[in-house]
Structure 1
Amino acid sequence: MNILISGGTGFLGSAFSDEIIKRYYQTGKEVAITWLTRDTSQAHPDTVSLMTYDELAKTDNRYDVIMNLAGAGIADSRWSDERKEALLASRIKPTESLLAFIARTPNKPKLLLSGSAIGWYGTQGDKPLTESSGFETDFSHRLCEDWEQLALKATEYGVPVAIVRTGVVIHPSGGMLGKLLTPFKFGVGGQLGDGQQIMSWVSRDDWVGAAIFIIEQHLADKIETHNNTLSTTSDTPALVYNLTAPNPVTNHKFTKDVGAWLHRPTIFTLPEFLLKLMFGEMSTLLIDGQKVLPQALLDAGYEFEQPTLETALAEQS
């Protein structure tokens, strides 16, 4: 199996590449990974090939699966107008390059797995949200919706699409948990606001496991729809999956569990007004929760290795 990944050097793409290469090697299956990049001089595993976007525009390589994961971190800096434009461009431009490749290649991939986020649902408090739920319009929704709708154009060329709406990914090497380790280790970690906002999270191991599960289900023609079909102008399948653990937690519980895991106190609280002052509009990511459930994955038979926050943190010890 040949897999092309935009965003392969990132927090999720690199972990996915390592795991699927390991799994396929152990079972005697062949897999080749190519990362799309703008700089082929960057460090990368010997088991991975690099390709520039300019080379993509000319190549006649055949790929069974394309993974579209490129995109700047939405929580990396304050949302100025310039930053919002950069966030959108970092998602749209790579997707356009992939679509151009799909349009011209005679050997169509069997699946486009395209990234998105649970921000698509907007702020809906503690209302349970599955793949069939609606949305509230805000910046996060618009960003995800523009990205998803562009990726869905692959169905016009006969390529099935799986949209993965990712929650907060838990792993100490990066993401939210990686950023929180230093203050927590110094004993100044604490809850955000009143701590009752719901956090829909997923361990990085389960994100990778679920992505592999989705790919293998599609390639084996074992896909079944579970109220997770997306509307397109084509008859080619387009499905959406929430990549979150089945047990979301409040920010208060997350704070206490991380503190217990690190054996550090969690007595501090960052009040809501201070978060809004510090982060502006982006503070919605910290203050307003979302209770997003992985119903389509569960219905399809995926079994989470780390279904609770306690088990996810214990695996990192």
Structure 2
Amino acid sequence: MNILMTGATGFVGQQLVKLLSEQSHQLTIVTRNISHATATLGGQHKYLDNLDKLNNLNNYDAVINLAGEPIVGKRWSNQQKQRICDSRWNITAMLTQLIKQSDTPPASFISASAIGFYGRQGSTPVDEDSQAHNEFSHQVCSEWEHLALKSQSENTRVCVLRIGIVLGKNGGALAKMLPPFKLGLGGPIGKGLHGVSWIHIDDLTHLIQHLLVTDEAQGVFNATAPNPVNHKLFAESIGASLNRPAVIPTPVIALKLAMGEMADLIVEGQFVLPKRTLASGFNFKYPDISPALDSILKA
């Protein structure tokens, strides 16, 4: 396939580029910094520094949209909230407009979202059909998804991925969590009862590939392993994989003081189930947390 891709230099994007390249797909990568992207991803791809240079997407078979300011990168000031929204909404709106302007549009548009769509849910499991709690993370994701789904037509199917915590080597959330665990100082947050909905990066990249080639797949799919865990078990599993204790809790108040409103993403959590993802025929290589972490931390 000839694929247009955004967000390729991110943690997930880099692994997806590697997988798609191994399958001989042709990639055009949209990036603000072509020299950095070329050094990171290789010179065999085409690069584009601005979508404004395109009038349509007639030459592409598929579009993959992973672009977005990291939602937990900085404290949520009003300015940072706007950056989080704009970085997702603007490029998604532009891609949808280009698809609509195409005489022979791409057959598929796969666009990222996040399980933040559901907002706080307590201990109640949720799937793709569940009602959301209206808060900032939901508002970001709801509009993000709406803008992508507007490009749906009889010629273009849209798949929206509500992505959980992505676990992999050398990046993502896990890399930020590991230092205290390696020192034997890790542990659950608060009582550790809140949900952790996670996915191994290999499963995420293969899920995207699965949706690319599954012609009947469209709509919303949870990109989370089928067995979410509470934070106590998650912390214990990290400790076990590292052969370190994981019993020192992080006080919730400390996180809230350090992170402000953004701490709710970590403190509240959700138990998200991939009902539609499994129904699409996708098989998870890592459905359970301990083998997933072992593959990353013991390899």
- TM-score category (smaller protein): over 0.9
Give the whole-Å Cα distance in 1 for the aligned partners of 2:88 and 2:97: 15
Q: CA contact under 8 A between 1:72 and 1:90: conserved in structure 2?
A: yes
Q: Report the counterpart of residue 231 of structure 1 in structure 2.
A: none
Alignment partner of 1:36 out of 30, 39, 43: 30
Shift of 1:281: 0.8
Q: Report the counterpart of residue 71 of structure 1 in structure 2.
A: 68
Q: Report the counterpart of residue 46 of structure 2 in structure 1.
A: 49
SS in 1 for 2:291: helix
Shift of 1:61: 5.9
Q: CA contact under 8 A between 1:168 and 1:200: conserved in structure 2?
A: yes
TM-score, with length taken from structure 1: 0.88
Alignment partner of 1:258 out of 238, 248, 251: 238
Give the whole-Å Cα distance in 2 for the aligned partners of 1:84 and 1:258: 31
Shift of 1:105: 2.6
Give the whole-Å Cα distance in 2 for the aligned partners of 1:256 and 1:83: 33
Sequence identity (%): 37
Q: Report the counterpart of residue 83 of structure 1 in structure 2.
A: 80
Give the whole-Å Cα distance in 2 for the aligned partners of 1:190 and 1:16: 31
Alignment partner of 2:282 out of 282, 302, 306: 302
1:109 matched to 2:109:
no
**Unaligned regions of 5+ residues in structure 2, if any?**
none
The structure-2 alpha-carbon separation of the partners of 1:217 and 1:102, relative to structure 1 and needing over 3 Å to count, comes to same
Shift of 1:130: 0.9
- Deviation by residue 1:8-63 (Cα, 9 ceiling, x = unmatched): 111111111111222x2xxxxx4101110112111222332211115643576611
Q: RMSD over aligned Cα, in angstroms?
A: 1.6
Q: CA contact under 8 A between 1:4 and 1:33: conserved in structure 2?
A: yes
SS in 2 for 1:154: coil
Structure 1 outlier segments of 4+, above 6 Å: none
Give the whole-Å Cα distance in 2 for the aligned partners of 1:139 and 1:49: 36
Q: How many residues align?
A: 294
Alignment partner of 2:176 out of 151, 165, 179: 179
Shift of 1:289: 1.8
Give the whole-Å Cα distance in 2 for the aligned partners of 1:117 and 1:163: 9
Give the whole-Å Cα distance in 2 for the aligned partners of 1:101 and 1:286: 36
Shift of 1:106: 2.1
**Unaligned regions of 5+ residues in structure 1, if any?**
25-29, 224-237
Give the whole-Å Cα distance in 1 for the aligned partners of 2:271 and 2:196: 7
Q: CA contact under 8 A between 1:172 and 1:181: conserved in structure 2?
A: no
Q: Report the counterpart of residue 5 of structure 2 in structure 1.
A: 5
Shift of 1:117: 0.4
Shift of 1:256: 0.8
SS in 2 for 1:302: coil
